Each structure stands twice: as C-alpha cells, then as structure tokens.
Structure 1
C-alpha cells in the first residue's frame, strides 16, 4: 500500500516564502535529473541553458480572480467572508462562506458601500454555498474593486501588489489560486526563450482551492481528487503534437499544465483539443503520456502535488532533493523557489 505518510518531510516554518521576490526570475532553481537523481543549484533565469531549440514549453494562462470578499450581514451587521469557487449560471457562484452557520438560505450580505449584494441560495452537501450576486455594471470590474487575492492559508503576509500573485501571461479569469510555477517568468525571459527557437503553447486550467486540500486518508488510492476546468485549443494541441513528432521535448510549466496535458493525451501521447473537467490524480506508478520535463515549485508535505512530482522523478529522488532543498535553505511553496525535473 502506498501511504500518505511516505510523502512527509520536516519543513522549518521559516522556509515558507511569505513574499514574492523583487525580480521574478532571480529565484533559485534546483535542477534534478530524473534518471540519476543528480542535483544542480542554479538561478531561475539560467533555465535557458537547459532548453533546446525545438522544445515546447507549455504554460497555463489562467488568471486568478480576486475571489475573497469581505462584507457584512444585512440584518445583523455581522462580519462575513465569501470565497468564490466556481461560477454557475445567472450570477450564481459556488462559494465558501465563513462563518457558515450564520448564513442559511435567504441570508443577505452587503459588500463595499452596497455596490455588491449577495443572497445565500442553497447549502451543498460539502457545506459550500450557492450564492446569487446583485450589482450594476460588469461583475469582474466590481470584483476588482472589492475583492482580495485568495492567498494560500500558509501565507500570512498581506500582498502589496495584486499582480504578484498572477503570471505575466495570465489571460482567462477563473482561478482561485495561481499556477505558481509560472510566477518565475518575466516577459523578457519568455521572449529570450522564444528567440532561442523554443515553442510556447498556452493551455488553460482554472486552479481550484482543492489544490491546497490535504490528503486525509492514509491509503493514497482512497483520496478523491477535486475537479478543475481545462481548455486546450487546436492551436496548442497542434504545436505540442508537432513538437513531439519532430523529436522535441514537452516541458510543462507547473503541475496544472501537467494535469491538463495528461488529461487530454491518448495512449500514444497525442494531445486532443477540447475542454471539460478533470479529476486526474497522478501518483507514483503513473505512466506519463504527454510530458517529458517539468518546471515546478516546492510543495507541501503529504500533498497530491508532491505525489505528482514523485511519479515523474521517482519518490526516492524527490525526497532526497527535498532534503537537500531544506538543507540549502530553499524557499518553499507559492512564492518560493523552483525545481526543473528533466
């Protein structure tokens, strides 16, 4: 049996990065050879030395919405926090409401000076709530004025600049968390990579908060993966398939791009365009169909993301690399340093 506790490691609290670096591309980069387990310490912008003309870099162009709304209950003035999870039809969203017990169906919440109002419509099985919003104008613009970035639970500092929890290529709104491996790229670095003859394919996967959900079962195989929406265009699929056919490598930027590609690849590794929801759970023993290499951050102990990277590089190589990262004082999680598994 594969146990969740097999993916535990000791992480000193002070190694959890609380703030983004001034310069995105100057974070550290650990290069891990997935065959030998050999480790090299570099700086992120040195990634160009590990890319080759004809390779394809696959990035996730989802955009994080400022999904955290803080308001007051219309009748009592009690403080209520609503976190947007998934957009439904007609201005209804699936949300996480705190404190939930004060918000039964029919309860109304006011945000800002009343330019946004919400009514609780229904309570779902898992305790999430369906909420209907009322506003004038364009919802995204109202949200931009009133919402805060929904930073992960382990980041306690307030983010000074909203854009630092966004990749420079973020385009399609819908994520409750950033695809953080992409935070290391600057526009200059991406241009340098393109000028080298590396293809850049854009896919979309809207990252849900389930990405932070701990694995609560000891038997890994019993964990139920959260569902996330993806979209792979014909253009992206063609670029990736052509790269493979021409002998180039597919390099996923982040576990989100990885999960997207592995969800739409057939057994021969051919990528099929389309959109839908994926619940793919990748853990050791999984045979990768689409990707060759992965750029990723350092993940939480016992997380599904740590299991995914262990599937690619081997659990022993990954756990040894993480031990080395702790020893070398790498910065962990969303605003932390990067790893290139190749």
Structure 2
C-alpha cells in the first residue's frame, strides 16, 4: 500500500476492493459502488462537517509554542457544550513532522492557560496522560466559533505535503461541523452517486457522528482509540434501518463512524433507537453486529483502530488476504485513498465488548446483554 498524498476526494482512478459474505475478494473502479447495491438495501452516511481542529498557540506559564488538536466533546449540543473539548497537546512543530516524532508539550497542569492570538482556553484537568487534557475555551459559543475560525486549521499528517484547506476535508453531504477529522469514507459519495442509488431503488439517509482523531503520536494513548464519540440519529434514519432489516435488505454503512453509531444505538435490544448518544464501545472480533451488514471504508493498516473494527465483519485470515491484495496492487491508504466494501461474513454471537477503563489505563472486556 502507499499513502495518498494529494487531497483529491474522488480521483478518477480510485479503486474499490470488495469482500463478500463468503470471503471472496474482487476489485472494481470506485465509480461502480452503486452497482453493488440492490433494491431493498439502504445506505447510511455520516453528514458531519470537519472542524478546523488544529490550533497553534502558546502555553502561557512556560512561554512555549504548542499545537492543540481538539479530540472530542461530550455531546453535539451547542451553547455551553461548545466551550469544552478534550484535546491532544504537542510541542513545537507542525504536520510536516511525523506525529509520533513530534516534540512533547511543556509540563501541563490543571489551570494552565493556553493562548491563541487574543483568545484562550484553560486546562480543566488531565485525562490520564501528560498530553491529553480537557479544555475550557473563553467566552460564549459564538466566541469559540470565532477562535476556531481565526486560528484553527484541519488536523493533518505528514503524508500530505501541502496544507489542507477546510473544503478539502468536507464531504459533499457535510452539514453540522462536529467532526475532528473528516468522515472520509464519505468521499466515495457525490451527487451523481446519490442519483444512481435513487435510480436503483436504494434509499439513502444520514446521521451525525463526531469523528475523532486517528492518531495521537503516542503509542499508549493510541491504545485508547477510538475515544468516546457523540452522535445523533434522526427518527427517519432509524426507521429506514429497521424497515430495511425487516424486509431482508442490507444496511450499508459509509465509514466506521456510522458503524459505531448504529451499533451503539442498537446495543440495548437490537433495534436502532433515534436520538443523541455517545459511542463508547470498541468494535472488533467479539462484537455481534446487530444493525450493519456492509461497511464501506478506506484502506487501513493492520495496526489501526479502523482495521480492528473490520474484524467484526470478516475473520483474520480473510483480512490477511485483503491486506496482501491491497499491498500487491498498491492501493492508496489514508483519507484520500482508495476504498473497501466488506460484507459481514457471519453473525457470530458477541459474548463481550470492550470499554476503556481510565483507572486501569486500558481497554477491558465486559459481558454483553445478548437478549
């Protein structure tokens, strides 16, 4: 595999590797996505727009230059909820340096002030790691928006040489700006694709999920990914999923964030419930999928949290063959890369799920209610 280094959302030569429920692998141009769908299926995508979540500023107590990458929120609500974010803090440098090689920030303490031009934020607490903090931004929600607009840029990594513009990371269906990195599986979509779905009798709906960071630069902190992520499922979207399942169609999720939201919403009794929630679970080989039949995603390295989620859809040997195919045919990785379609192979009973225990500093298995 090779990194996609140019921020083109829908390159003409984009490819789509498919894995059916029997583990058979095939290759298609990504423009053939709609052809894989049949009447009775539905497609669900994340309509979150991406925030300019990388802010360069100064740690006032030390005078050191820092970068803050916003990483999470407790809810999608506006008002007072706009003031508080979890964040990863780096020292000097920018995206041109590999994330894992970035300088550490100065020692961070509760009450420290971070300054972004004339605006600022206060560290409320450390979140179990020296560079992972909760921030409270000054002012009301309008001032926070002004701070992000004035000083924020899209979170970016070293595989891209040039700075990203905000429109580079917004999908064609982007709506509420709540994501910290783009829900980039949605780059497979454009308006002609949606027209093709309609022509095939395949309904399309959205939810909103605050997609989080894909890397923190620290191996210990990366083990906590994905972080808790708030979501909102409209009534019409929940109803469409349930109708599709009742008639034997496939629920096709565009991206890992859609899988996390739908499966969390269905965890109690198997039905996708509308409304606001927070996806706290880690999806993997022990997860019994209750709502999603197919995931459309980017291509991911085997050590990533996104790849781990694929284990809920296909076994390790199938994914090993997938990785070999991706490498042999030099598929492009990262947000502007090629795509995959992975259909759920079995409906294995989930005996446990994994949640992050901050006291232990690790993911732990807890029994699931399988009723």
- TM-score, reference length from structure 2: 0.77
CA distance in structure 1 between the partners assigned to 2:50 and 2:164 by the alignment:
16
Q: Shift of residue 122 of structure 1? A: 3.5
Do the aligned residues in 2 keep the contact of 1:71 with 1:111 (CA within 8 Å)?
A: yes
Post-superposition CA distance 1:153-181 (Å, at most 9, x none): 45342334322222111212222122221
Q: Shift of residue 22 of structure 1? A: 6.3
**Which residue is equivalent to 2:210?**
206
CA distance in structure 2 between the partners assigned to 1:74 and 1:302 by the alignment:
36
Q: Which of 79, 83, 89 is the aligned partner of 2:69?
A: 83
| Cα distance, 1:134–1:307 mapped onto 2, change above 3 Å | closer
Q: In structure 1, the residue corresponding to 2:273 is in which secondary structure? A: coil
Q: Does residue 50 in structure 1 map to residue 36 in structure 2?
A: yes
Q: Shift of residue 285 of structure 1? A: 4.0
Q: In structure 1, the residue corresponding to 2:21 is in which secondary structure? A: coil
Q: Shift of residue 330 of structure 1? A: 0.7
Q: Map 1:220-239 onto structure 2 (within 5 A).
A: 226-239=227-240
Post-superposition CA distance 1:249-305 (Å, at most 9, x none): 111111111111111125774212232222222222432211111111111222232
Q: In structure 1, the residue corresponding to 2:128 is in which secondary structure? A: coil
**Which residue is equivalent to 1:18?**
5
* Cα RMSD after superposing both structures: 2.8
Q: Does residue 63 in structure 1 map to residue 49 in structure 2?
A: yes
| Cα distance, 1:70–1:23 mapped onto 2, change above 3 Å | same
**Which residue is equivalent to 2:169?**
165
**Which residue is equivalent to 1:109?**
114
Q: In structure 1, the residue corresponding to 2:313 is in which secondary structure? A: helix
| Cα distance, 1:39–1:130 mapped onto 2, change above 3 Å | closer
**Which residue is equivalent to 1:145?**
150
Q: Shift of residue 320 of structure 1? A: 0.4
Q: Kindly indicate which of the two structures has a greater share of residues assigned to helix.
A: 1
**Which residue is equivalent to 1:7?**
none
CA distance in structure 1 between the partners assigned to 2:317 and 2:8 by the alignment:
30
**Which residue is equivalent to 1:329?**
330
Task: Identify unmatched segments of 5+ residues in structure 2.
Answer: 75-79, 92-104, 344-371
**Which residue is equivalent to 2:122?**
119
| Cα distance, 1:26–1:184 mapped onto 2, change above 3 Å | farther
Post-superposition CA distance 1:80-107 (Å, at most 9, x none): 2122223464623322222332544444
The structure, 1 or 2, with the larger RCO (C-alpha pairs under 8 Å, 6+ apart) is 1
Q: Shift of residue 206 of structure 1? A: 1.0
**Which residue is equivalent to 1:33?**
20
Do the aligned residues in 1 keep the contact of 2:43 with 2:253 (CA within 8 Å)?
A: yes
Task: Identify unmatched segments of 5+ residues in structure 1.
Answer: 1-10
**Which residue is equivalent to 2:249?**
248
CA distance in structure 1 between the partners assigned to 2:4 and 2:226 by the alignment:
26
**Which residue is equivalent to 2:192?**
188
- TM-score, reference length from structure 1: 0.83
**Which residue is equivalent to 1:284?**
285
CA distance in structure 1 between the partners assigned to 2:316 and 2:332 by the alignment:
20
Q: Shift of residue 44 of structure 1? A: 1.0
